[in-house]
Amino acid sequence: MKHNGKIALIPAYNPDEKLLGVVEDLKLYGFTVLIVDDGSGEEFQEIFRKAGELSGANAVVHLKSNKGKGTALKTGLKYIRDNCEAPYVVTTVDADGQHGISDINTVTRAAQSSRGTFIIGSRRLDRSTPFRSRSGNLITRVFLNTLTPARIYDTQSGLRSFSDDIVPILCKTEGSRYEYEMKVLIDVTRNNIPVKEIKIKAIYIDGNSSTHFRTIADSVRIYKTIFSNAGYGEGKNNE
């Protein structure tokens, strides 16, 4: 896959037309776009077709059935690893428009200037944040930072950017659904990869109603991941 050094990876499950706006913004900012269709229904394929056209005939990878965000991300990362020539940076972007393009670009530029560092677009959550998102992030932050050497504020941000040398580690990280993103934070710390959080704007559309997060099932997976990796050893704290 041809690229210009910065690749936006978008996992998408049953997306609406907000995906098209995301792709348009990314194209205007010069990103190469890779979309992974996580087993969406037939009625959503027209959106993927339009998204592929908007992105300039860049890749859309289709999974036959819904496997979860973690599998979609790893599928995309493995595709990039196998089809893109280094150097490059990868920025993971949500499909629902909850990441502003200026923030996406800022996080990406930070990864470009700090190869080997894992960059997180970090939201400072307040009372304007939907309660479920605010409370969930607080609980996971407390557990992660208490039980492991990771020191992360926004543990649930999907806006992350990193250089090609980190991609092989993330391809091996365990997890198929939302717990994968938590395990990534543990694995980058375990591998002594510096983590840097950059403040971004918190955007929640319609109270975050578009999320596919399953409150009980996915929360159990996330906490199980944290507890199973408790006390795994020293790592490098974030900057």
Phi, psi of 44 (to 5 degrees): -100, -5
pLDDT tens digit sequence for 93-148: 999 998 999 999 999 999 999 999 999 999 876 655 554 565 667 788 887 888 87
Going by C-alpha positions, the residue among 149, 191, 146, 150 that lies closest to residue 168 is 191
Query: Does the domain formed by 6-228 have CATH 1.10.10.10?
Result: no
| pLDDT value at residue 227 | 74
Strand-strand pairing, 118-123 and 32-37: unpaired
Alpha-carbon distance 119 to 103, whole Å?
A: 12
Whether 4 has a pLDDT exceeding 50, the answer reads yes
151 or 62: which carries more pLDDT confidence?
A: 62
Give 1's pLDDT tier (boundaries 50, 70, 90). Answer: confident
Ranking 15-19, 51-55, 58-62, 134-138 by mean pLDDT, the lowest is 134-138
pLDDT tens digit sequence for 65-105: 999 999 999 999 999 999 999 999 999 999 999 899 999 99
Ranking 5-9, 73-77, 208-212 by mean pLDDT, the lowest is 208-212
Q: Which contiguous run of DSSP H or E holds residue 46?
A: helix 45-54
Give 206's pLDDT tier (boundaries 50, 70, 90). Answer: low
Per-position DSSP letters for 195-221, written without gaps between them: EEEEEE----GGGGTT----HHHHHHH
| pLDDT value at residue 124 | 74
Q: For residue 93, what are the CA distances in angstroms to 5, 26, 135, 191?
A: 16, 10, 22, 24
| pLDDT value at residue 27 | 95
Alpha-carbon distance 155 to 216, whole Å?
A: 18
Alpha-carbon distance 32 to 198, whole Å?
A: 22
Give 234's pLDDT tier (boundaries 50, 70, 90). Answer: very low
Report the DSSP beta bridge partners of residue 119: 161, 196
The structural domains of the chain, with segments of one domain joined by +, span: 6-228
Question: Whole-prediction pTM value?
Answer: 0.86
Kindly state the DSSP code that residue 43 receives in the 8-state scheme: G
Percentage helix, strand, coil, to 5, in the chain?
45, 15, 40
Cβ(184)–Cβ(191) below 8 Å? no
Instruction: Give Cβ neighbours of residue 93 (< 8 Å, ≥ 6 apart).
Output: 8, 9, 10, 22, 26, 99, 104, 158, 159
Whether 17 has a pLDDT exceeding 80, the answer reads yes
| pLDDT value at residue 39 | 97
| pLDDT value at residue 161 | 98
Tell me how far the alpha carbon of residue 104 is from its chain's centroid: 11
Residue 41 identity (one-letter amino acid): G
Q: For residue 152, what are the CA distances in angstroms to 16, 183, 233?
A: 31, 12, 16
Give 167's pLDDT tier (boundaries 50, 70, 90). Answer: very high
Whether 198 has a pLDDT exceeding 70, the answer reads yes
160: three-class secondary structure by DSSP: strand
Phi, psi of 223 (to 5 degrees): -70, -35
